[in-house]
Copies of this chain bind each other. A is one copy, B any other.
């Protein structure tokens, strides 16, 4: 197998804690040769920390000097589009952080260019690699669920508006809880159904708590600079008559500190995760099935590996450019519905 040259764009936490360690673990397949950040000192510090040869503050320089095969984009949401387009134009495979872009048209263009260039563009929805989700896919494949007709997907926090970063900045993030949390479980729900495009989308967004302020559990946010939704709900229907109920929230007056659930209802069985349980009939009786020994997996490592598989033309369950475009369109339709 040819080894690939990789570069990382973006010098924040997600590069430092997720992508760089994953690439280092996969050093039999990939060489991380450069890190690029607007702040050169940050890029260099990160490169030194992880033993990466090059550091840049201009992507043009990066492409000129290093000619990477693969680019990992870990910048704020508003930069995903331009940096992906540039990387694809440079002939690189691209592994872009979620969400794909600020709007549906950008995501569509990104997918089209990737297709046109014959390059892999993938998005980093790591939950696809969770043991629980892998088991769901096996249960579905084994027919244990029958026809799946309804999914409840939720990723909500009681008072988890981050007190750091750009999470509440509309221009840079494009949105709030839906863009940051909701897309994870929406991606899982869509993937479970085969990634269909919904025929109808109805949604709502809220910002009462974000704008009012209060006790924070992820640091203290600034209510006066709170520009995004603190929560969103939506309902999607699909041509095959299936439906999805979606809830995403940074701040909800509920009991749990956070909930990240996928409830899948099928004609023969239903599954709930996380954690995973299966509810069906077995031997003529209603059965509850638990799997107490699911492995605890490094989902970033596995997702980066899945991206590299895709680059190598191997089967892979990484989120594709096409799927990213469908998802981004749904997000946009939810926001539009909420603005009615």
Chain A residues within CB distance 8 Å of chain B: 135, 138-139, 142, 144, 146-147, 149-150, 158-159, 199-200, 202, 204, 206, 208-209, 212, 214-215, 217, 231, 233-235, 237, 241-243, 245, 247, 252-255, 257, 263, 265-270, 272, 277-294, 337, 340
A80 CB to nearest chain B CB (Å): 29
Is the Cβ of B288 less than 8 Å from the Cβ of A255? yes
Evaluate contact between B204 and A150: CB separation under 8 angstroms: yes
26 residue pairs bridging A and B, Cβ less than 8 Å apart: A135-B285, A138-B283, A144-B283, A146-B208, A150-B206, A150-B233, A158-B279, A159-B286, A200-B337, A202-B237, A204-B237, A208-B267, A215-B285, A234-B235, A235-B235, A237-B337, A245-B245, A245-B247, A253-B265, A253-B280, A254-B265, A257-B293, A285-B293, A285-B294, A286-B292, A288-B290
Residues of B within 8 A of A267 (CB): 208-209, 212
State which of B263, B268, B288 has its C-beta within 8 Å of the C-beta of A289: B288
A257 → chain B closest CB, angstroms: 7
A147 vs B252: C-alpha distance when bound (angstroms): 13
Residues of chain B within 8 A of A285, CB atoms compared:
135, 215, 291, 293-294
Q: Evaluate whether A279 and B265 lie within 8 angstroms (CB atoms) in the complex, with A215-B284, A287-B290, A289-B287 already known.
A: no
Partner of A215, one of B158, B281, B288: B281
A241 proximity list for chain B (CB < 8 A)? 204, 206
